[in-house]
Amino acid sequence: MHIPGLVKFGGAVVALVIVSGCGSTPRQAEDDMTVAPSAATLNATYVGRTLFVNGSPVAAARLNPLPRYAELVPDKSNSKSYEYIFNNYDTYAGIFDYPKSVQQIGTINGAGGQGCTNVLYGYGKKIVWNVGRTSGLISEYRVPNKLIKTLSLNYTYTSSCAMNTSGDIAVGVLVGNPLGNAYGPGGQVVIFKKAAGSGTVYNTPLTKEYFDGYDPNGNLFADGFTGSGETFRLVELPKGSSAFVTIKTTNSPEFPGSVQWDGTYLTVFDQYPSETYQYTVSGTTATLKNTIQFRGASDCAQTWIVKGLLYCGDAGNSAGYVFKYPDGGSPVATFTGNFDVPMGVTAAKK
């Protein structure tokens, strides 16, 4: 398999150093609406197919040597939403108000990793969740940046979040290291009923969980790797069930990406070829219906679908992009601001 930008030597650890364009650190105020600069040096290593950035496992596939910045002319209409680009764990999230502007307008310091909202797809209802704090906390914000709730769980490296129509939140675990302990097998999913309480842990067939998403019937899907060879797998927790089952896909995705309902299909983003696969699911089989290709991004770690658009947090280029959906193709807009290995993206109404 050819992976642009990476050097592979079997299962050995491969290290590279990436220098960004800015040199200071984010300000510490939680409600700071200024633009936070990115970190000076990023140390990336690979253990098998899993990427570690500054010693932390992340749900991205690859990084490029230098970030890329570009700006396209945005729509001048009034924005009715906020978009959030979540950077590396415990760093910050950039806040945007596309299509009014592509320029970063604010910051949530301490955030990072992935995000989700209180809708299956589209713009959330004034609420944003973030699961990227290695303290074992997940956080709920009222837009644009007011912290209103935190939930705790006994895992350091959470990788994903999704909400169903009943308000339950499902949080995926990339590696299964309880707080303060060494790395261990991951793949767990913790579900908080009504986004409250201590959460219930569900084991999955995955050894590393990357992304998850609900369908409108309340079935929870997740993707990640399984086994020592780190093979892609899609799994499902059917509504009302206590056990995940493996879902066979009629194509062969290469690297786990976002799992999200798009209003018609269950979608899985493949980070290596930058493609979204649209599936219909019957029993334990996901049948591929359409493949949508996206050009110009290096590695969309998390994508978020709204009506007519797909947002991309590009870990490879340290950037954020807007694509037409389901058209695909090249970006129609590129966010400008400060990025530090973007891992996640989501959007919510004002």
Nearest alpha-carbon partner for 300 in 71, 72, 98, 61: 61
What's the predicted TM-score (pTM) here? 0.83
Of 3.30.70.1230, 3.30.1490.20, 2.120.10.30, 1.10.600.10, which CATH number belongs to 81-349? 2.120.10.30
At residue 180, the pLDDT reads 58
- What are the pLDDT digits (tens) for 31-58? 343 434 444 467 778 777 777 776 667 8
From first CA to last CA, the distance across the chain in angstroms is 43
Nearest alpha-carbon partner for 46 in 70, 14, 23: 14
In the β-sheet with 319-324, what is the strand arrangement from edge to edge? 300-306, 309-314, 319-324, 333-335
State how far Cα 242 lies from the chain centre: 25
At residue 62, the pLDDT reads 67
Nearest alpha-carbon partner for 139 in 160, 169, 131, 30: 131
- What are the pLDDT digits (tens) for 65-97? 444 433 333 334 457 899 999 999 899 999 999
Ordered by start, the domain boundaries in the chain are 81-349
At residue 199, the pLDDT reads 95
For residue 177, the tally of other CB atoms under 10 A from its CB is: 18
Tell me the three state secondary structure of residue 193: helix
At residue 78, the pLDDT reads 58
- What are the pLDDT digits (tens) for 217-274? 999 999 999 987 789 999 999 999 999 999 999 999 999 999 999 999 999 999 999 9
At residue 293, the pLDDT reads 98
Long-range contacts of 110-113 (CB under 8 A, 24+ apart): 110/28, 110/30, 111/86, 111/87, 111/139, 112/86, 112/87, 112/88, 112/343, 112/344, 113/59, 113/86, 113/88, 113/89, 113/158, 113/159, 113/343, 113/344
The pLDDT-based confidence of 179 (bands split at 50, 70, 90) is: low
The more confident residue out of 248 and 6 is 248
The pLDDT-based confidence of 319 (bands split at 50, 70, 90) is: very high
Q: What is the percent of the chain with per-residue pLDDT over 70, rounded to a whole number?
A: 80
